[in-house]
Amino acid sequence: MIPLPTGLRARLVITFTVVAVTASFLVATIGFELAKSALVKRAEDTSIDLVTRELGRITFPVGTLRQGEAPPTTKNLENVAQSLNGPGRSVVVEYKNLTYAEGPLNMNDVPNELYGRAKRNVVTQRRLIHDELWLVVGAEVYRETGTEPEATGLRAFVFFPLRDDERELATLKGKLTQGGVVILLIALVVALLSARQVLLPVRRLSAAAQALGQGRLDTRLPVHGQDELAELTSRFNDAAAALELSVSELRSLEALSRRFVADVSHELRTPLTAMTAVADMLSEEAERLPDAPAEAVRLVLREIERLRGLVEHLIEISRFDAGTATLNLEPVNVADAIDDCLEVRGWGEGVEVHASHVLTVNLDPRRFDVIVANLVGNALKHGLPPVVVNARATKNGLEVKVRDHGKGIPAEAMAHVFDRFFKAGAGRARSQGSGLGLAIARANVHLHGGTISVRRQEPGTLFTVWLPHG
């Protein structure tokens, strides 16, 4: 099945061409039929006039014979036939039981209908005889008797060939066909030019909309004329101006929000440092306190630790938002980097690592440590052992996979696991995590130019990180 064109330009050209071709076809058909009718009428008028004139010249007596008149002979009929004959014609003359034929056709070729109608007046009929079109004219001779014309019984049938008229019609048809082809070509050219003229403002609007989509919010179009396209262009300019103003305001608010988060995070560092120092002292005394105060001290210590992690994450996120995060690439032994990450955090016993000790890749070691720590920490907190880390070299970079064997992330939450402050499930709303770990991991992966993805396993969840060669 041939696909229909969907472009506006193609549809305009096709519509314009179809209308032009239809109109030219109708004009050509009407013109051809008019010309055909005129040729047929001319042939009939000329033939009838000739037959009527020649039959009116008959001098021998026919019909009811008066005293002293002899009936016509075969020679008389021959003379009538010869007077009606001409190039390419055939003539048949009949009088009672006498018949004379001049030419290749005879009485058997006279149509029955025309034979019957010829008793009353001069009649014509076009007939295909022996694969050739003829105009047959039939007429009966009437004799003036003084009161009313008397039918004599003498009838003449003249066969006029229409090959010349058919040739003229064929020539006319060829000319009309050539004219139709020319009209089609002209229609195509006019349609293309018209479509270009109509679609040029549309293309400009499309290009301007694309520019807006790419962030060039100062894009505007010149307004020409006062038609619908000019009104549309003006509306586009108004919408672009409003969009630029709204985006500018949103960017200002976003910048203020980011600065506020960064400022608050940095301001919290000082009291947190003091609180951490006091917490260290309290942790040493907690064992000597009664159960209730000891539990309160442990709760405070946990919340201080959680607050410290949240502040650190907020400061890290603010660097990415401000665009100040940079990469410091250097050759990194991947297996050693993963082992160091787990050992520093005390996770070495609960994680299986599968990585070649000769695998070295250009990475930012600090940011790679953050990526691994966040993925492994997430698996340890919310999954079940064993937690497995696999690292291997690929054709274009490094692939690191982190999998746990827990219940897995719910299907409806898979699309949001990298969103900031998102925690899968209501039961995790008050967990120790900040809800920023996976977002920070993704930001560090993207800073390296890599990708990160997540998918469910049976059982557990699998995170896959790909980092290109630095």
Structure tokens given for 309: 């992690």
In angstroms, what CA-CA distances link 428 with 43, 84, 254, 425? 102, 116, 28, 6
For residues 243 and 336, membership in a common domain is answered with no
d(CA 63, CA 360): 129
**Can you list the residues of the chain whose pLDDT is less than 50?**
1, 426-430
d(CA 433, CA 32): 89
Q: Please tell me the total count of domains within the chain.
A: 3
* Residue 224 located in a structural domain: no
What lies within 8 Å, CB to CB, of 282 at 6+ separation is 297, 300, 301
The CATH number of the domain where 16 resides is what? 3.30.450
Domain ends where: 276, 291, 321? 321
d(CA 454, CA 416): 10
Give the tens place of pLDDT for each residue, 54-64.
Answer: 888 887 877 77
The CATH number of the domain where 304 resides is what? 1.10.287.130
- Per-position DSSP letters for 66-103, written without gaps between them: PTTPPPP-HHHHHHHHHHH--TT-EEEEEETTEEEEES
* Residue 218 located in a structural domain: no
* Residue 153 located in a structural domain: yes
For residues 342 and 380, membership in a common domain is answered with yes
Domain ends where: 321, 345, 367? 321
For residues 312 and 430, membership in a common domain is answered with no
For residues 266 and 343, membership in a common domain is answered with no
The CATH number of the domain where 379 resides is what? 3.30.565.10
For residues 254 and 336, membership in a common domain is answered with no
* Residue 184 located in a structural domain: no
For residues 287 and 378, membership in a common domain is answered with no
Statement: the pTM of the whole predicted model exceeds 0.75: no
d(CA 394, CA 420): 30
* Residue 82 located in a structural domain: yes
* Residue 222 located in a structural domain: no
- Per-position DSSP letters for 415-440, written without gaps between them: GGTTSTT--SSGGGTTSSS-S-HHHH
Ramachandran angles phi, psi of 71, nearest 5°: -65, 155
For residues 16 and 160, membership in a common domain is answered with yes
What lies within 8 Å, CB to CB, of 10 at 6+ separation is none
Q: Which domain holds residue 150?
A: 8-169
For residues 101 and 154, membership in a common domain is answered with yes
* Residue 432 located in a structural domain: yes
Q: Which amino acid is at 104?
A: P
d(CA 250, CA 136): 93
Residue 464 is predicted with a pLDDT of: 93
Domain ends where: 117, 136, 169? 169
For residues 312 and 376, membership in a common domain is answered with no
In angstroms, what CA-CA distances link 97 with 73, 94, 155? 11, 7, 12
Q: Do residues 66 and 146 lie in contact, with contact meaning Cβ atoms separated by under 8 Å?
A: no
For residues 316 and 337, membership in a common domain is answered with no
* Residue 150 located in a structural domain: yes
Q: Do residues 401 and 389 lie in contact, with contact meaning Cβ atoms separated by under 8 Å?
A: yes
Residue 434 is predicted with a pLDDT of: 63
For residues 38 and 160, membership in a common domain is answered with yes
**175-183 CB contacts, 8 Å cutoff, 24+ apart:** 176/28, 176/31, 176/32, 177/28, 179/24, 179/28, 180/21, 180/24, 180/25, 180/28, 183/20, 183/21, 183/24
Residue 66 is predicted with a pLDDT of: 72
For residues 405 and 371, membership in a common domain is answered with yes
